Structure 1
Amino acid sequence: MELTRPVAEFVAQTRLDGIDVAAAHHARWLLIDAVGCALAGHGSREFHTTRQALTNIGPQGDATVLGEDRHPLLNAVFLNAYLITALTACDFHVPTRCHVTPEVVPAALAVGERFDRGGEELLTAVALGAEVTVRVGVAFDFSAKHARGWHAPGLSGVIGAAAAAGRMLRLDAPRMVNALALAAAQAAGTFVGHGTPQLKFNQARAALSGVLAAFIGAEAFPTTPEPFLGINGGLLTPTYTDHARPELLVDQLGEVWQLLQISLRRWPAGTSIQSVIDCLLEITTANAIGLDDVKRLDVTLAPASAQLHGHQPHPRTPFLALLSTHYVAAALLADGHFWLPSVAPSRLADPRLQAFADRVVVSADDSVPDAGAVTSLLTHDGRTLVAKRDFPRGHPSDPLSDDEMRAKFLRCAQERLDPPRARRLLAMLERVEHVSVREILSAATPGAA
């Protein structure tokens, strides 16, 4: 079975007008959402630590980090990827548990800025990189991958990053094969760091590795022609997984667009916690109740989600709070909404929230879908109010509207830009085919002309 050449030809030769209209529309929002999340990501304490470390490696450069100054190109790729994922608000492909845009978008932006590419090429590269990322992940088989501890962005995301960067470099198919092979050679990253920003590192490293692979592949660096099925470590062989379905990588490639299955999050929180928020908003809106009315809250999640998000009732940092079902539920019931101020350090120490978190019980049930949740809220006056979601708002089965996505972008962007500049940037991104990558990055920089 030949896999790499068809994928390379698909990435090298597909034009924007060859991409399904719905897929191109979704790719546009993936790009817009990624830029917005990156601007909000400057509020992450861990981002500033990462930036200092990379400044120590190379302090000056000509590549733009969204929302701030310039760095060496590979540093900028890493930092932009970290910014996109920093606050747990970016996209998510539920079937493979993979964030896609932190790997794909920084790769395309960096190459596009370096070579002064246009927005049409940027949108095309984002769509193709996202499509490749998802297809590699699906072919890999999530259950087998997760059982071994693999973290999807480091395995499939690095391939998508190389595809996006290679497309912006205008690689022909043979050089695209080189880029994909070099990306596959760097496929790595595990879940061992869950509950820490280490997982964000995996995503940023994958973006950087994909760009490195594309630049070296562009020089016709000799590689294996089949990195997916090759002996001695092919990405879709028992070296990585025992249950791969390699045929899914190329099945109906260019006809059925898997990127349409990428969710766009409404809130800065873990995926299943998104469903918890939606359930609680449904209950509180219909019944006009808040934190002081609730005696107990039971939350039922899928086993994997309960393991990830059900064991930190008293998070010590904003990062951990975004992954805590107990804390997010308490903050939402107290405020009637949930956003970044909800996880400010002063809020984490709020005695009311601390006390209520102890009245939240999280359990696991195989009948709950991976991204779903069931909430059962017992009020002090004896009512039991139940809400259930199989998936959160923003999932392909219940997508956010364009207006909801605009509102999220502006809310994110205004963490870094003044409102008029944020609105101008949004307008520019919505007509991305008519602007250049350099114009987009300039518009995303506070104080730039």
Structure 2
Amino acid sequence: MTAATDPARYTIPPATAELARFATELSYDDIPADVLTIAREQAVATIGSCLSGNHMAAMVSMADGMGILGSGEVATVFGRAERVPAPTAALYNAGTAQVIEWDDWVIISHSGGAVVPTAFAAGEQARVSGKEILTSIVLGDEVNARTSRAMQRGAYVGNSMPNHQIETALMAARLFGCDLTETRCAVGLSAFLAMENCPIGWTSDSKVLINGLPAMWGIVSASLAKAGLRANQEIIEHPAGFMSTVSEEVDADELVFGLGTEWHTRTLNTKRHPSCAYNLPAIECAIALHDRIPGFDPARVENIVVHGPGVTAYVAARYQAVEPSLYEAIREKRYSHVPLCFDAGFATVASLADGELTWRQYQDERIFSPEIQRLAARVSFRTDAAMHRAYYADYQYGARVVLTMDDGQEYVEERLQLLGARDRPYDHADKFREGAEGILSAAQTEEALAALRALDTVDDIREVAALLRPR
């Protein structure tokens, strides 16, 4: 027996084959009811993010430029009147889902921004039912969770993880009716050119491609495989394959551990406000301070101190060493608004000044407003030992914001977990309505929301998608 034919030549499980089998065999009836509910709500929340993202200049540019990908009225661009080819819709919708960092995550990897656009775009192409859409969303979340755990000791974490090429290809292959071999090839094609991201790109609109390109390419790869194009069928786990290319360390057992029995979709965390997750408790505290202080006047604030886990201070300081300053770089159009999505200082002071954090605060006229610029010079950060321990022990995202006014009066708000965490839910309809405002009419918003929450009853997903285009 040669090394090439020895079945023991790899010590890691055949993840590509196992994940492909899971993708082709998973049934709606196999999925626990609570997991299906999470997937349904994930669609509501993610599409709310997509609708809101339409207000950003970056997405106007993307809409203007993506015509080069061709025409064809197949799939919905959420919040816009036109229909486009499925890969194009996935690219755009995944971009809007994260242009203001308003996406979600399972385990340690952002998910919905890639999974939901892929499900809807490929689903419209294949004219599948709402049950199939929900099944594919769960499939995407489950695969995303496992591939992220497998590379969690590498250089990429959270939103930067380059694992979406796997789940999007598996989802599209399922929706297109690919057989087992075609499904393995879809992953082989999608993951052949590994998409890693350059950290400096996070200062610009290009960050929307982290989810957008894998969503688009996963659909294209499934179509190519369905047409007979062949690819390596052990691309995920091979020592010269995808996981070893994008991560210095690979925990291969995580790739298939508990597949179909342990539902990682249950770990979904959904953001209530558009910003990095580490900033969210401080944002909520700032909004509460704005609302509870009688006659609140930003001009009277003398000092703002944000206490939280060490990771919050790290994220807050990530762009503070930029020379000239981060704000100057944005003013000079060398950077876009994107770094502010990770700047806990901006997130806190914008929320404090306006009593909200939406797409509006990421517009240049608000970024450079006198109120926000003045407050930005008065914020500082402290690490809270208890919150630091709670974060690393059980993913508890905490913050305490201490506000000192010009008369010496001190106000304090504290949150020990972010709103939208798995153990602190909120009504995702609020997020959907906020995103739809100014894009869909009030009546259409409620109609679309009701349809998304009744996906199980829909025979053709195009009926629901039509409600997500302005009339």
TM-score between the two structures when normalised by the length of structure 2? 0.85
Give the deviation of 1:138 after TM superposition: 1.0
Relative to structure 1, is the Cα distance of residues 204 and 364 closer, same or farther in structure 2, using a 3 angstrom cutoff? Answer: farther
Alpha carbons 2:312, 2:344 under 8 Å: kept: no
1:167 and 2:191 matched? no
Q: Does 1:438 align with 2:438?
A: no
- Determine which of 61, 72, 78 is the counterpart of 1:49: 61
The aligned counterpart of 1:156 is 163
SS at match of 1:296: strand
Q: What is the letter of the counterpart of residue 468 of structure 2?
A: A
The answer to whether the Cα contact below 8 Å between 1:3 and 1:250 also exists between their aligned partners in 2 is yes
Of 194, 200, 214, 2:202 maps to 194
Match of 1:204 in 2: 212
Q: Secondary structure at the match of 1:244?
A: coil
Q: In the alignment, which residue of structure 2 is the partner of 1:136?
A: 147
2:176 and 2:398 mapped to 1: Cα distance? 40
Q: Indicate conservation of the 8 Å contact 1:150/1:188, yes or no.
A: no
Residue 97 of structure 2 corresponds to: 84
Q: State the 1:309 CA deviation.
A: 3.6
Q: Give runs of aligned pairs for residues 4-43 of structure 1, distance below 5 A.
A: 4-43=16-55
Within the candidate set 250, 258, 268, 2:256 is matched to 250
Distance apart, 1:137 and its partner CA = 0.6
Report SS of the residue matched to 1:185. coil
Within 2, Cα distance between the matches of 1:364 and 1:92?
Answer: 24
- Aligned partners of 1:340, 1:132: CA distance in 2, in Å? 30
Do the aligned residues in 1 keep the contact of 2:99 with 2:207 (CA within 8 Å)? no
Q: Post-superposition shift, 1:318?
A: 4.6
Match of 1:338 among 351, 357, 360: 357
The equivalences for 1:402-413 within 5 A come to: 404-413=427-436
- Gaps in structure 2 of 5+ consecutive residues: 1-12, 321-325
CA contact (8 A) 1:186 1:209 kept: no
Aligned counterpart for 2:302 among listed residues 295, 301, 319: 295
Q: Are residues 162 and 365 of structure 1, via their aligned partners in 2, closer, same or farther at CA, if it must alter by over 3 Å? A: farther
| Contact 1:291–1:330 (CA under 8 A) maintained in structure 2 | no
Evaluate the alpha carbon distance shift between residue 414 and residue 336 of structure 1 in structure 2; reply closer, same or farther with a 3 A threshold.
closer
Distance in 2, matches of 1:287 and 1:63, equals 47
Please state whether the residue corresponding to 1:297 is helix, strand or coil.
strand
Q: In the alignment, which residue of structure 1 is the partner of 2:446?
A: 423
Letter in 2 for 1:228: I
Which amino acid is 1:221 matched to? L
* Structure 1 contact 290–333 (Cα < 8 Å) conserved: no
C-alpha distance in 2, partners of 1:330/1:394? 21
C-alpha distance in 2 between matches for 1:277 and 1:264: 15
**Does structure 2 retain, via aligned residues, the 8 Å contact 1:123–1:432?**
yes
Partner of 2:378: 359
> Take 1:185 and 1:318, find their aligned partners in 2: how far apart are those partners?
32
Question: In structure 2, how many angstroms separate the alpha carbons of the residues matched to 1:249 and 1:146?
Answer: 16
1:302 CA drift (Å) = 4.7
CA contact (8 A) 1:90 1:99 kept: yes
CA RMSD, Structure 1 to Structure 2 (Å): 2.6
SS at match of 1:171: coil
Give unpaired runs (5+ residues) of structure 1.
none
Distance 2:357 2:45 in 1: 18
1:198-277 to 2 correspondence within 5 Å? 198-232=206-240, 234-237=241-244, 239-277=245-283
8 Å contact kept, 2:53–2:359: no
Which stretch of structure 1 is more off in the superposition, 180-189 or 256-265? 180-189
Q: What TM-score do the two structures reach when normalised by structure 1? A: 0.89
Deviates more, 1:39-48 or 1:165-174: 165-174
Query: 2:185 matched to 1:178?
Result: yes
2:43–2:116 Cα contact (<8 Å) kept: yes
Give me the whole-angstrom Cα distance separating, in 2, the residues matched to 1:334 and 1:253. Answer: 46
Tell me the distance in 2 between the aligned counterparts of 1:45 and 1:83. Answer: 11
1:99 aligns with 2:110: yes
Q: Residue by residue, what CA displacement relative to the aligned partner does 1:8-32 show, whole Å, maximum 9, x if unpaired? A: 1111111112112221111111111
Give the whole-Å Cα distance in 2 for the aligned partners of 1:267 and 1:170.
Answer: 37
Cα pair distance change 1:110/1:380, threshold 3 Å? same
Letter in 2 for 1:135: R
Residue among 128, 147, 159 paired with 1:117: 128
Q: Give the number of equivalent residue pairs.
A: 436
Structure 2: which amino acid aligns with 1:347? R
Question: 70-79 or 425-434, which moves further after superposition?
Answer: 70-79
1:34 deviation in Å?
1.7
Partners of 2:42 and 2:167 lie apart in 1 by 14
Partner of 2:424: 398
Residue 188 of structure 1: how far off its partner (Å): 1.6
Deviations 1:127-148 (A, max 9, x none): 111111111111112x42338x
Q: 1:241 to 1:338 in 2, by over 3 A?
A: closer
Q: Counterpart of 2:145 in structure 1: which amino acid?
A: V
Compute the displacement of 1:355 (Å). Answer: 1.0
Matched AA of 1:72: P
SS at match of 1:399: coil
